[in-house]
Amino acid sequence: MRAITFDIESISDSVVRGHIDIQEQELIIVAIHDSLTDEYSSYSKEELPRLWPIIERADVLIGFNSDAFDIPLLNRYYPGDLSHIRSLDLLSEIQKVLGRRIRLQSLAEATLNRGKKGDGLKAGEWWREGETEKVRKYCIEDVRLTRELYKYALEHGVVKYKDLRDIRDIKLDTSSWVREVGTTPAMTYALPL
């Protein structure tokens, strides 16, 4: 199974009461891990044509808040419809069980014993200051955390989070997460004919 774990960094000047309007966001970086090559890479908006063939050959897209944010935002730049590719949104899976959202930072600290190296707002500042490589590294690190949480959940059936002073388990049913290659139809929107 070819899994693409991914994350997006974006910028916008409009945030209303903590809510981010996807239509107001501008994509700046997409970072991925490709399970086929076991490599991490990143793509700016101008480099997206190199990303499309990789995504189109994926059996599953894995992200964190990806169904609600990353895929809809990336779809604005894609010539087809990314929602036709099977996706696994770790935040959505956790919310189904726990009934609320948990930050990637909290999950990573409790499950992996390490956290993020910044936040999305800081990444926007770095971008505006021309620190492109810093944004790429930050985005790749979020992909790394997401991928490691996914692998941990597959192996242990849980991820962990800190609830006040206690570390608690979130039991996840991962039985449908892994499917055989070929169960998802291939995409051909950007691939040469």
What is the tens place of the pLDDT at every residue in 63-118? 999 999 999 999 999 999 999 999 999 999 999 999 999 999 899 999 998 876 66
Phi/psi for 142 (5° steps) reads -65, -40
Residue 159 belongs to a domain: yes
Residue 7 belongs to a domain: yes
Residue 177 belongs to a domain: no
- Average pLDDT, integer, range 176-188: 58
Q: Residue 185 corresponds to which tokens in the numbers above?
A: 């139809």
161 forms beta bridges with 168
Question: Quick one: which of 24, 28, 6 has its CA closest to 15?
Answer: 24
Confidence of residue 190 (pLDDT cuts 50, 70, 90): low
CATH code at position 46: 3.30.420.10
Residue 181 belongs to a domain: no
Residue 193 belongs to a domain: no
Per-residue confidence (pLDDT) for residue 136, from 0 to 100: 92
Q: Residue 60 corresponds to which tokens in the numbers above?
A: 């599953």
Provide the domain limits for residue 66. Answer: 3-171
C-beta of residue 62 within 8 angstroms of C-beta of residue 90: yes
- Give CA–CA dist 185/11, Å, rounded: 33
Angle at 173 between CA 119 and CA 83, to 5 degrees: 60
Is the pLDDT score of 14 beyond 50?
yes
pLDDT tens string 110-151 = 999 887 666 666 777 777 888 889 989 999 999 999 999 999
Residue 188 belongs to a domain: no
Per-residue confidence (pLDDT) for residue 145, from 0 to 100: 96
Residue 160 belongs to a domain: yes
Is the pLDDT score of 168 beyond 50?
yes
Phi/psi for 55 (5° steps) reads -65, -40
Q: Which helix (H) or strand (E) holds 7?
A: strand 3-11
Intra-chain end-to-end CA distance of the chain, in Å: 24
pLDDT tens string 16-58 = 545 566 777 889 999 999 999 999 999 999 999 999 999 999 9
Residue 192 belongs to a domain: no
Confidence of residue 165 (pLDDT cuts 50, 70, 90): confident
Which has more confidence, 64 or 183? 64
Which has more confidence, 191 or 134? 134
